[in-house]
Structure 1
Amino acid sequence: MKITFKQVDAFRTVVSTGTVTEAAAMLGISQPAVSRLISDFEAEVGFQLFQRSGRVLVPTDEARLLVEEVRQAVSGMEHIKDSATAIGKFGHARLNLVITPGVSSQLAPDLLQEFSATWPKAMARMEIAPSDDAVEWMVSQNYDFGITTTQPANPSFDSLVIRNSDVCCVVPTGHPLAEKTIVQAQDLAGKSFISYMPSSRFRFEIDQFFEAKGISRQMQYETRTTDAVCRLVARGLGVSVVGASLEYLKTIPDCVALPFAAPLTFRAVLFWSKNKPLSAVGQSFLKIVQSQISDD
C-alpha cells in the first residue's frame, strides 16, 4: 500500500469541506487534481470513501472511521513541519509548555510574558491538554514543562508548587448569594451548578466534597476552563466553585467571587522530566517561575 501525504491531506480536506471545489481552493490545487487524489486514495485503502448527495460529498461509514486516524497523522506531520520551521528560525531557543485547562487563562500567560522579556526572540508554544494525565504524557515525550492541578505521582518528574490558594464560589451579579461574606456548601443545594469536565481531578475533589456532605446540586453545565466556567456564571446559567485567585476573578464582568467554606485548595504544579536535561531556555524559565514564587 503506497499512501501519500497529498492523498491523505486531500481526503481530510474533502471530509471537512464536503465539496471538491472548496477542498481545491483550500489546498491550492485544481479540482481534477483533488478528484484524482481521492480516487487514488480509495484504490489504496480498498473501499469507497464518499457518496454524492447533490453537490455535497458525504463520507461513508468507513471514511468516518478512517478520518480520525488521518487527522492524528496530519497533526503529527504539521508538528514536525512547525518544529523544523522553529529550528530554522530560532535555533534551539524554544520553550514547549503544556497545561491543563483549569490554569490556561491564569498563570501561564503571566509566566510567558515574563519569559518573553528575558528571551524576546525565542519561540514559545503553549499547548492545552484535556487532562492532567495527558499533560504528564506529553511532558514525558517532548514538552519542557507541564502545569497541572495536582502533584504528579510519577517519580520520573521533578515538580514545584507555584500556586496553593483557597477555592472561591462564583455567582452572577445580583444573585441572592452575592451579598454573603462567605458561602457555605449548603447554600448551593439544588442550585444549577457549572462544573469542570469529568476528566479534571479538581472537579473530582469538588464532587467528593459535596457527596460527603450529602448535598445535591443541579448538574446542568460542564466546560473545561476556569474562564469559561465564570463566563457561563456571568450569563446567569448557574453558580460554581473554582480554583482561581480573587484578583483574577474580579476581572471577569458580571461575576461575583466569594470565599467558600470548604477544606479545598487550588494547586498549580509545574513539573518537568528528570530523564532529559533542561535547555538554557528551560533553565531560564524555571528561574523565572521560582522568582515569581519568592515574590508572592
Structure 2
Amino acid sequence: MIGRAANGADLMNLLYFSAFRAVMLTGTVSAAAELLGRSQPAVSRLLDKLESELGVTLFERRRGLVTPTSVAQLLLDEIERAYVSLDSLKSFAARVAEGESRRIDTAIMPALGLGFVPRLLGKFREEWPNTKILLNVTLSVKVEEWAASQQIDFGLAETPFRRSGFRIETFSDSPYIAAVPAHHPLADSSQIGPADLVDVAFISLAALTTAGQLVAQAFRSCGVKYDPAYETTVSSTMYEMVKNGVGVGLIDPYTAINDLDDRVRLVPFLPAIPFNVALLRPESRPANRAAEALLELMAAERDMLMKRLPR
C-alpha cells in the first residue's frame, strides 16, 4: 500500500499514517489531535480507517485509552524509516533553495564534536561568514546511520561500520593515551600497560563502544584481568574524573590534547590501541565547497594537535 502511485486515495492514506504516527509519539489520541491541529474524533476516525485498510488491530481501546499492539510497533518502525528519507529530501531541497555552500550538515562523534570541531568554527566563519552549520554531536552508530540515509554532508565516526551508502576515508589513527592524575604514582611513568593498572582505579570507555571492546581485548592479550572501576561512553567525562583524582583513564588523543590541564599527566599506553576515526561522505549528497573548506581546516588542526602527543 505504501508503495502505490500517489493518487487521491493514497494522499488520504498519508493522513492515516500521519495520525497513527502522532498517536504513537504522543501516547494519546487527544495529544495527537492537538499536534495535528485536528479534532479528537477526526483522529480517531483516521485510525479506524487505517486499521480497516490494513486489516489489522493497531490499538487496544479501553475506557478511552489506546494501547499499541505489537503490529503497531512494527508499523511505526517502517514509518520512521520513511520519515528519515523524507527529512533527507527536505534538507536537500533547502540546500538547493539556499544555494551551494550556504549550509553544512554534519554529525560528529563526541570525542571530536565536543571540543575539537567547535574550536575551529570561529576561524572557519572568518572565511565563510554566511554559511550555516548544523553540528550534530552523537554516538558513532548514529553518525553511520545518518550518513547511510544521506542526511549529512559528512560525518566523523569510529570504525568499524555495518551500513553502506557512503564513502570512507581515514581521518585519524593516533593511539589512545593514558590520562593519570598528576599526583598519582604512575604520573611519572614513561609508559603504562595493563599490568600497571592492576589494583588501580581504572576508568574505561563502556563495553558497548568500540574503544571499550578494544581495551578489554588489550588486557586479555596481556594476560591481565579487565576489571574497570568506572565506565563511561564519553571521553570528556572520563577526563573530568581523572582531573578530580578519581582514577586512571584511557582516553582518545583529541580529548587529551584539547583539554590539557595541570592536574593530568598524559602517558603513552602499550600495547597501542589506535583511535580509528573515519570521514564518512554520503554518496548521494551534492558537492559542497564550504564543507570541503571546513574539512581542510580540520585536517590542518588535526596534524598540529597530534604533534603534541607524548611519544
Same structural fold, with TM-score higher than 0.5 when normalized by the shorter chain = yes
| Mapped contact 2:177–2:251 kept (Cα < 8 A) | yes
Q: How does 1:37-48 map to 2 (within 5 A)?
A: 37-48=46-57
Partner of 2:90: 81
Q: Which of residues 242, 246, 250 in structure 1 aligns to 2:256?
A: 246
Distance, in Å, in 2 between the alignment partners of 1:222 and 1:45 is 46
Match of 1:123 in 2: 132
Aligned length: 287
Correspondent of 1:285 among 294, 308, 311: 294
| Structure 2 segments unaligned to the other structure (5+ residues) | 2-9, 306-311
Paired letter, 2:256: L
Deviations 1:60-102 (A, max 9, x none): 1111122111222223223322332343245552323333344
Matched, 1:147 2:144: no
Match among 188, 198, 205 for residue 195 of structure 1: 205
Map of 2:269 onto structure 1? 261
Mapping of 1:96-135 within 5 angstroms?
96-127=105-136, 130-131=139-140, 135=144
SS in 2 for 1:266: coil
Structure 1 residues 8 and 180: alpha-carbon distance in aligned structure 2, compared to 1, 3 A threshold: same
Matched residue type, 1:117: E
Query: Which residue of the partner structure matches residue 7 of structure 1?
Result: 16
- Cα separation, partners in 2 of 1:135 and 1:178, compared to 1, 3 Å: farther
Aligned AA for 1:21? Answer: S
TM-score (norm 1): 0.74
Q: Percent identity?
A: 25
CA distance 1:250–1:22, shift in 2 (3 Å): farther
Asked if residue 181 in structure 1 is aligned to residue 188 in structure 2, the reply is yes
Backbone CA RMSD of aligned residues? 4.1
**Could you tell me which residue of structure 2 aligns to residue 94 of structure 1?**
103
Q: 1:241 to 1:291 in 2, by over 3 A?
A: closer
Distance 1:10 1:236 in 2: 53
Indicate whether 1:167 and 2:174 are aligned.
Answer: no
Q: Label 1:230 to 1:39 Cα distance change in 2 as closer, same or farther (>3 A).
A: farther
Q: What's the CA shift string for 1:27-60, capped at 9, x where partnerless?
A: 2222122212212221222111111344431101
Separation in 1 of the partners of 2:19 and 2:264? 49
Aligned-partner SS, 1:218: coil
2:36 paired residue number: 27
